Structure 1
Amino acid sequence: MPRPRKEQVSLSDTPYYHCISRCVRRAFLCGEDVVSGRSFEHRRQWVEDYLLKLAGIFSIDVCAFAVMSNHTHLVLHVDQQQALSWSMEEVLHRWHSLHKGTLLTQCYLNPELRPKLDAVQLQSVRDTAEIYRQRLFDLSWFMRHLNEHIAREANKEDQCTGRFWEGRFKSQALLDEAALAACMAYVDLNPIRAKIADKPETSAHTSVKQRIKQAKYAKQPKALYPFVGNPRNNMPKGLPFELKDYLALVDLTGRAIRQDKRGYISASHHSILERLNIDQSSWLTLTTGLEQQFGAVVGNCANMLLYKSEHKHQRLHGMGAAKRLLNSA
């Protein structure tokens, strides 16, 4: 039986999560349907555009994404502290960019009507704003907005009704840097594994393509969570890796996956692998089967045991994989 979402998402353990949504019916999310001959390629842009729009509204950052023919992969970072620092007015403006809100919250944001609100009405606005604030860093609310929007648009285009996605999205908590790096590479290389792209820079509707495009100009995409370098004191918000290291790692891993040769990567240690203390064959296993190797939690053995103890789980799927692949990390 699936565990409640509140038991799968624990911000005290990690702010990083891998989320997967799959279509429930034969009709494609994107790509081309060989049976009907219809092309749904344009829907990839729907997903990418709305995903990045939501990232600008919610206090949730996009670390990596890949839009596939019948499913999507996202690596997300939940920034709870940022949401808690927003003013009430900021929270209401953000929520109103998606919903109408209540009559009172609309009045509060109207300079002419706000002075007319009495103390009871103002307290009601404060209470409502706090509900909105909690939702704006809630992974389930983020995925709900994304999937409902795409489902409505797809159903409208297909001239049908009914469920478009599976009942709920799958999520995996990424407990440490090794799990985060492996999962991001796994997501970014999905089109290559599916043989719909031959290299990262040509894999459309992926985060790695956006990063490579901006890296040519020594920049990073504003819509994606940035790379800020190795962990250190007074570290700015961002991914704890060097961008150049990550892109080199994705390129090397991608070539090994496409040619199906474990020993193709150079024998010299790559900086990320060396720092995370993962050997190359283990890395390739991780980046080709992350969903199969692990369940709701991904991390090294020590972190998974700590998570298991703190959340009082009898067992965690993936403990064997953690021992084999990430025990040294």
Structure 2
Amino acid sequence: MARLARAEVFDPNEVTIAHVMARTVRRCFLFGNDPVSGKNFDHRKVWIEQHLQHFAACFGIDLICFSILSNHYHLILKSRPDVVASWDDTEVARRWLMLCPHRKDSNGNPLPPSECELNAIRNCPEKLADTRSRLSNISWWMRLLNQRIAQRANHEDEETGRFFQDRYRAVRLIDESALLACAAYVDLNPIRAAMAETIEQSDHTSAQRRVETCTEQPATTHNDGLRHDDSFLAPVEIDESNGETSPVASQSGTRCSDKGFLWFPLEQYLELLDWTARQIAEGKHGKTPEHLAPILQRLGLESSVWCELVEDFGKLFKTVAGNPCAVDEHRSCKTHRRFRLSRRVRELIPSD
């Protein structure tokens, strides 16, 4: 059966969490060591992460997780139209002009917009409304990201044509169980691909950035132009003191909001990642820490089920992800059709 149109799955006016993935053409290693050409393109991973940090500071979208491998990358994004609604017209215009600047400095960085450039957006109601919508639209994030990486890589290689295999893939994450399993799937991708043995060695992942923050090293900008901390990522733990319904817009200027996405702290999330990596990685043996058991129990998942969900997340979920009961309660945005889940998902997570 044909996959539902993306407009049926994602409503741009709703806060939505999505797992998105883009792969290079013909699965060539255009972000790493390419065995065909013998060239190394690891520096392009830095390009992507530079854009992620810039986009997180400008878009009305929370960057929850990311991992960049040799021929594809994964992101978990949370659209925040509620945060964008709290921005005044000048802020909306300024953020868009920092994403699509009219002027750049000698290094190619966007220059602060002039009053004339700001007025071109904020004094036109139609353009302003469209710009406000774009700032919380995941499709615009992916469009600009893939376009800029493709253009820069093609220019470097003196090539033309497609750089990415197809339009990015997107799966909507409906509940916390799906979000946690997908976050682990994304953060553990380098370990599953045998590119790293531990989380702290997993370069160009959100997990590594969070580990670097846990070491309490001062946030600095390295020679690669990247901030090696997690200030641009969404916080892990939901701070109930801020209110569950509050947008919690960030004042730091490095991310959209300060609202977390899980109900337990960063340290427990990293411990869960480490335990999961030991279960998946061949030749590794580990014992589940006793304090992690309540997390899996609250999810209603056995350890073996959890490991299969994380290991095969990309194969199990195609359009939406979540507990079958939660998925069955949702309908597509326009035709109100039911979402389909594979038989294996329903076997792993039986409905009550």
TM-score range, shorter chain: 0.7 to 0.9
1:291 and 2:297 aligned: no
Q: Which has the higher helix share?
A: 1
Equivalent residue for 1:6? 7
| Cα distance change of structure 1 residues 112 and 141 upon mapping to structure 2, 3 Å threshold | closer
Equivalent residue for 2:233? 224
Equivalent residue for 1:146? 145
| Cα distance change of structure 1 residues 14 and 135 upon mapping to structure 2, 3 Å threshold | closer
Answer yes or no: is the 8 Å Cα contact 1:23–1:71 preserved in 2. Answer: yes
Cα deviation digits, residues 199-224 of structure 1 (max 9, x gap)? 01100000000001101229972100
| Structure 1 counterpart of 2:302, from 276, 279, 301 | 279
Answer yes or no: is the 8 Å Cα contact 1:278–1:328 preserved in 2. Answer: no
Equivalent residue for 1:197? 196
Answer yes or no: is the 8 Å Cα contact 1:17–1:174 preserved in 2. Answer: yes
Answer yes or no: is the 8 Å Cα contact 1:230–1:242 preserved in 2. Answer: no
Equivalent residue for 1:239? 261
C-alpha distance in structure 1 between counterparts of 2:283 and 2:289, whole Å: 16
| Cα distance change of structure 1 residues 37 and 113 upon mapping to structure 2, 3 Å threshold | closer
If the length of structure 2 is used for normalisation, what is the TM-score? 0.81
Matched to 2:327, the amino acid is: M
Answer yes or no: is the 8 Å Cα contact 2:330–2:338 preserved in 1. Answer: no
| Structure 2 counterpart of 1:258, from 281, 300, 304 | 281
- Deviation of 1:295 (Å): 1.2
C-alpha distance in structure 2 between counterparts of 1:290 and 1:62, whole Å: 19
1:312 and 2:349 aligned: no
C-alpha distance in structure 2 between counterparts of 1:136 and 1:188, whole Å: 26
1:96 and 2:120 aligned: no
Cα deviation digits, residues 234-254 of structure 1 (max 9, x gap)? 246211232111110000001
Q: Which runs of 5+ in 1 are unaligned?
A: 102-108
Q: Which runs of 5+ in 2 are unaligned?
A: 103-112, 219-228, 249-258
Equivalent residue for 2:163? 164
Equivalent residue for 1:104? none
C-alpha distance in structure 2 between counterparts of 1:66 and 1:153, whole Å: 20
Structure of higher CA gyration radius: 1
Tell me the matched-pair count. 315
C-alpha distance in structure 2 between counterparts of 1:80 and 1:295, whole Å: 25
1:300 and 2:323 aligned: yes
| Cα distance change of structure 1 residues 285 and 68 upon mapping to structure 2, 3 Å threshold | same
Q: How does 1:62-211 map to 2 (within 5 A)?
A: 62-100=63-101, 110-111=114-115, 125-211=124-210
Deviates more, 1:193-202 or 1:21-30: 21-30
- Deviation of 1:36 (Å): 1.7
Matched to 1:161, the amino acid is: T
